[in-house]
Amino acid sequence: MTHLTARRRALLGAIGSGTITLTGGCLRQARSLTGWESSQQVRLRIKTVPDDADPYALTLARTVADWFRAAGIDTSITPMSEQELHRQTLLRNEFDLFLMRLPPRFTDPDALYTLLHSRFAEDPGWQNPFGYANLDVDDHLETQRRTNGSQRRDALRQLQLTAARTQPFTLLTVPDDVRAVRTTNYSNWRASSLDSSLGYLSLERSDDVDSETGGTLRVAITDRRATTNLNPLSVEFRRTGTLTGLVYDPLGYVFQDRLMPWLAETWEFSDDRSSTAQVTIRKGATWHDGKALTADDVAFTYRLLSDTTLGSDSDEETAPLPSPRYRGRSSLVANVNPIGDRTVEFQFADVTPSVARRAFTVPILPEHIWKERTDVASIAGIQTGSVTEALVTNNIPPVGSGPLRFVRNTPREEVVFERFDDHVLHQVDSPINDLVDQAGDAAFDTLSIQVVGSDVTAAEMVANDTADVTGTPVGADVIPRIGRRSESELLVQRSSSAYVLGYNTRNQHLNNPRFRHTLARLIDGEYIADAIVDGYGRPAVGPLWDTEWYPSELQWEERNPIANFLGSEGEIDVARARAAFREAGYRYEDGKLVGGRT
Amino acid sequence: MTLLHVVLQVVVVVALLHIIGLYTFVPVRDVRSLLSDAQTNARDVAPTALLFGIVLLANGFIRDAGVELSWLIGVNITGRIHALEGQFVATLQSYATPELTALFSFAYIFGYVFILTFPVVLYVFHDTKPLLTTLVAYSLNYAIGLGSYVLFVAYGPRNYMPELVESLLYTSWPQAQLLTSQVNVNTNVFPSLHASLAVTVALIAYRFRGRYGQWHSVAIVLATLIAVSTMYLGIHWLTDVIGGVVLAVLSVSIATRIVDGNRNRTAIRPRIRRRLRQL
């Protein structure tokens, strides 16, 4: 934009100064000159969260920006709150690059379907926020849904190899989640990851819980969003959904790499290939407000997720408005019908049962509350376009059926839950499995989530016995602080949520896969793992790195096997970087990377 | 160590500083006449104090709404501030020692609360004019500062270049964040209200120097310490501090004009009326 006005100004200036006479030949030349756009230095802007909100994101952004600058790219960083970052990137697509953590659910291969399939490029939320479109990838994504065994494995292999070459996003590092915990009141911290609800439900109470805290589990977090919004469908307010996962029950949880019944008692897939299943929910399930949870609620939930208007405006040709969250899982389901009070029949889309069962992990919502939220949302009576109340309500107080019931919230400070004594898994005759055995009963009476300003303060609260655990992970620089105090213990857990640099492939330069591939080669995963996360993390190429679906070609062996770093030890080799960009069709002018018609 | 502990600590220390300050800067007089002076002065400035109280209350209410509004209409200038001044704050922090950190942390929390509250107490025993000027200038600082926070979204250096700038206050005294997060939002850095309010006090003290012993010297030194501390601790940019100083000069000059204007008007009005009648 700016160069255009600059050029126009230069032209006008030339005309105005009278140095040229306006002959026909001259005008012709001016006209043909305007066909040749002058090119400008490549400019990229990285959006991420500030240091208070995340221990590594901003340092990573600055390191990446330094590498990009070394290659002659004009790079800037804009920090913003996590909520704002989600709004600008996931909802409005206003970004060049974003740097944040990929939600943990993307370690399931089928989750990549909505992340990378081109048909989701226009959808809000974590549905292909990159605007990435690759027809081969689309085919592989569809094949892996429909096939089993070696066929599926091969589709996923091809998919990952193509994605690694074309780089819709670059995986920067997979950090370990480091937390400070107090082991005096609760134990069994290592049983399950604390970025899932099961981590909290697996805790065990120590015999000598001190009387002062009286059965309260105190969690210090740096993320204040949960104190103002507990809507499981909100795009901007949810990170991992751990808290809403404690309030709402899914039909099943993935536990020790297997999907196990939770709210469901059993599920049975039909033997023929018709892709249907019958799910029976446990006896005696109730909502926190005392109403019974029935098959109707289950069926309603899936209808709501696939269209939050519930087709209420179906007199017109209005498009359905699915919930951006759980979009991948709701897209597995074609139809859900209640059969009696406790049994539901699922008809799946054209997917294999092993993929289809992932649909059972969405939270079940109460029909009597959410059916009122299907209208188009409005501010002070003015309708604000295509979003329903269900997607933007703050949902406080939430009414779920889960092991914890909401008590109170103080915006930006605290949110408190209590154990729900009538939870379905507390019924004496409820069938038990390993999952229920470990996580079926909360070990605490009250859960208090307290917001603090930064990870240092959170760790200090654990040391001072004003908190039991840092709910959000802390940075490696806080570790010496935790080790210093005997009362607090260091908890290091392998995380499934990687830091990624997402590219907006709708934008100039970034729409070019070769350009993105070359950008990825400016990033030194080894250096990040060693120097930024201080060894508490590991480099990887794709989000499935820790699963059986990860192809051997992508295994990291001291360097990125696909996008090899153009330098060494965290230092860019400028000559090599320039050669790589020249090969991609770019030029250098005064050390600045220049290219494309802008 | 909870929030309450931190607040108590601040209250006790600042109260001690007040006692020392009053003992030093208020000439020894009959206690009764001092108190009666204070009473009349307080009554005289009551409307202005009320105004200031309203601004403060509004500040409390609007701050949260302001943050929301700020994300909607504000301009994120963090990158631009960094482009403007570069790594000045990082350079400043390279001189850090534990002693300096303790000194500046003290100035940032205790010194700041003291420098804001003490002039009000000091002037109430003496004269309404500096008191009025102070209250009006405070109100202006808050009002303009708050408007600026809505228009500009910016994070401080500790949030923007964490590998170079440490959050020295919070790493050396983590509990302090329990207090500061109650009154501050980390996107509200331009301009620095710490710098502007402290400099406001120093400017007013200098203007009315001579009547309160060496108070103006103490105020100037303390204001300088506070302004530097905001950068040393990684909380504010140099740009914010300069913005704060400009805001202080602006607020004090407007406040002076308003207060002096009011005084003159009462003297001028009868004269004008007389003129008008003659005409």
Residue-level pLDDT, tens digit, chain A, 598 residues: 444 455 555 555 555 555 555 566 777 777 777 666 667 899 999 999 999 889 999 999 999 999 999 999 999 999 999 989 999 999 889 999 999 999 988 989 999 999 999 999 988 999 999 999 999 999 999 999 999 889 999 999 999 999 999 999 999 999 999 999 998 889 899 888 888 899 999 999 887 665 556 789 999 999 889 999 999 999 889 888 899 999 999 999 998 889 999 999 999 998 776 689 999 999 999 999 999 999 999 999 999 999 998 876 555 556 788 999 999 999 999 999 999 999 999 999 989 988 999 999 999 999 999 999 988 877 655 656 678 889 999 999 999 999 999 999 998 889 999 999 999 998 888 888 888 888 888 889 999 999 988 888 899 889 888 899 999 999 998 888 887 777 788 999 988 899 999 999 999 999 999 999 999 999 999 999 999 999 999 999 999 999 999 999 999 988 899 999 999 999 999 999 999 999 999 999 999 999 865 4
| Rounded to 5°, angle at Cα A58 from A55 and A61 | 135
CB contact A74 to B (< 8 Å): no
Name which residue leads in pLDDT, B260 or A297. A297
Average pLDDT over residues B86-112: 92
From B226's Cα to the closest Cα of chain A, the distance in A is: 22
Chain A CB contacts of B3 below 8 Å? none
Q: Are A173 and A538 in contact (CB under 8 A)?
A: yes
A-proximal residues of B, 76-115, CB under 8 Å: 76, 78-79, 83
**CA separation for the pair B85, B80 (Å, rounded):** 9
The answer to whether A454 contacts B71, with C-beta atoms less than 8 Å apart, is no
Q: Are A563 and A540 in contact (CB under 8 A)?
A: no
Domain ranges, residue B231: 43-278
Residue of B nearest to A60 (CA): B163
**CA separation for the pair A250, A274 (Å, rounded):** 24
The answer to whether A78 contacts B171, with C-beta atoms less than 8 Å apart, is no
Average pLDDT over residues B178-207: 89
The answer to whether A51 contacts B79, with C-beta atoms less than 8 Å apart, is no
**CA separation for the pair A133, A120 (Å, rounded):** 9
- pLDDT on residue A22: 53
How far out from the chain centre does Cα B178 lie?
20
B66 within some domain: yes
**CA separation for the pair B23, A50 (Å, rounded):** 45
> Model confidence over A465-480: pLDDT tens digits?
889 999 999 999 888 8
The answer to whether A453 contacts B175, with C-beta atoms less than 8 Å apart, is no
**CA separation for the pair A543, B31 (Å, rounded):** 75
CB contact A215 to B (< 8 Å): no
User: With the C-alpha atoms ordered A90, A95, A96, A99, is the resulting torsion angle positive or negative?
Assistant: negative
CB contact B172 to A (< 8 Å): no
CB contact A80 to B (< 8 Å): yes
CB contact B235 to A (< 8 Å): no
The answer to whether B177 contacts A466, with C-beta atoms less than 8 Å apart, is no
The helix-helix angle for B98-106 and B215-232 (nearest 10°) equals 120
From A51's Cα to the closest Cα of chain B, the distance in A is: 5
Residue of A nearest to B182 (CA): A413
**CA separation for the pair A483, B134 (Å, rounded):** 48
The answer to whether A460 contacts B180, with C-beta atoms less than 8 Å apart, is no
B-proximal residues of A, 20-39, CB under 8 Å: none
B32 within some domain: no
CB contact A426 to B (< 8 Å): no
From B104's Cα to the closest Cα of chain A, the distance in A is: 19
B24 within some domain: no
B191 prior amide bond cis, ω within 30: yes
In degrees and rounded to multiples of 5, residue A591 shows phi and psi of: 75, 0
Residue of A nearest to B156 (CA): A50
Question: Exposure string (b/e) for A483-507, b if CB count within 10 Å is 16 or more?
Answer: eebeebbbbebebbbbbbbbbbbee
**CA separation for the pair B270, A498 (Å, rounded):** 77
Closest by CA to A136, choosing from A151, A109, A156, is A156
DSSP state of A155: H
Q: Which domains does chain A have, with CATH numbers?
A: 2-34 (no CATH), 43-174+497-594 (3.10.105), 178-248+402-492 (3.40.190.10), 252-390 (3.90.76.10)
The answer to whether B2 contacts A466, with C-beta atoms less than 8 Å apart, is yes
Q: Which residue pairs from A431-438 have beta carbons closer than 8 angstroms and sit at least 24 positions apart in sequence?
A: A431/A265, A431/A282, A433/A260, A433/A261, A434/A255, A434/A256, A434/A260, A435/A198, A435/A253, A435/A255, A435/A260, A435/A261, A435/A262, A436/A262, A438/A191, A438/A192, A438/A198, A438/A201, A438/A202, A438/A255
- pLDDT on residue B169: 84
The answer to whether B181 contacts A464, with C-beta atoms less than 8 Å apart, is no
B21 within some domain: no
Best mutation target among A47, A49, A52 (most B Cβ atoms within 10 Å) is: A52
B14 within some domain: no
B36 within some domain: no
Chain A CB contacts of B155 below 8 Å? 50, 79
Chain B CB contacts of A50 below 8 Å? 155, 159-160, 186
The answer to whether B159 contacts A466, with C-beta atoms less than 8 Å apart, is no
Residue of A nearest to B158 (CA): A51
From A328's Cα to the closest Cα of chain B, the distance in A is: 30
**CA separation for the pair A595, A588 (Å, rounded):** 8
Any idea which residue has 């074609």 for tokens? A334
Other C-beta atoms lying within 10 Å of the C-beta of residue A239: 19
Question: Exposure string (b/e) for A61-92, b if CB count within 10 Å is 16 or more?
Answer: bbbbbebbbbbbbebbbbbbbbbbbbbbbbee
- pLDDT on residue B52: 85
- pLDDT on residue A1: 41
Q: Which of B2, B79, B186 sits opposite A50 (nearest CB)?
A: B186
Q: Which of B76, B79, B177 sits opposite A453 (nearest CB)?
A: B177
**CA separation for the pair B166, B211 (Å, rounded):** 42
**CA separation for the pair A286, A281 (Å, rounded):** 11
CB contact B36 to A (< 8 Å): no
**CA separation for the pair B194, A315 (Å, rounded):** 59
The answer to whether B174 contacts A456, with C-beta atoms less than 8 Å apart, is yes
From B159's Cα to the closest Cα of chain A, the distance in A is: 5
- pLDDT on residue A487: 76
Chain A CB contacts of B60 below 8 Å? none
Q: Using CB atoms within 10 A of its CB, is residue B261 exposed (0-12), middle (13-18) or buried (19+)?
A: exposed
* Total number of domains in chain B: 1
- pLDDT on residue B29: 66
Which residues touch B57 (CB under 8 Å, ≥6 apart)? none
The answer to whether B186 contacts A412, with C-beta atoms less than 8 Å apart, is no
B29 within some domain: no
Any idea which residue has 């030890």 for tokens? A569
Best mutation target among B159, B165, B172, B175 (most A Cβ atoms within 10 Å) is: B159
- pLDDT on residue A3: 46
Q: Most distant CA pair in chain B: distance in Å?
A: 75
The answer to whether B162 contacts A51, with C-beta atoms less than 8 Å apart, is yes
CA-to-CA separations, B101 to A344, B180, B237, in angstroms, rounded:
64, 17, 17
Token readout for A395 is 């949902």
Residue of B nearest to A532 (CA): B163
B153 within some domain: yes
Average pLDDT over residues B207-214: 86
**CA separation for the pair A344, A279 (Å, rounded):** 5
| Rounded to 5°, angle at Cα A451 from A446 and A457 | 115
CB contact B121 to A (< 8 Å): no
How many cross-chain Cβ pairs, A to B, lie less than 8 Å apart?
70
CA atoms within 13 A on the CB side of B70: 27
**CA separation for the pair A122, B226 (Å, rounded):** 50
Token readout for B23 is 């003992």
pLDDT at B250 over 70: yes
- pLDDT on residue A318: 65
Best mutation target among A49, A51, A80 (most B Cβ atoms within 10 Å) is: A51
Other C-beta atoms lying within 10 Å of the C-beta of residue A143: 16
Best mutation target among B64, B166, B183, B187 (most A Cβ atoms within 10 Å) is: B187
Chain A CB contacts of B76 below 8 Å? 78-80
How much is the ipTM here? 0.84
DSSP state of A425: G
Residue of A nearest to B67 (CA): A81
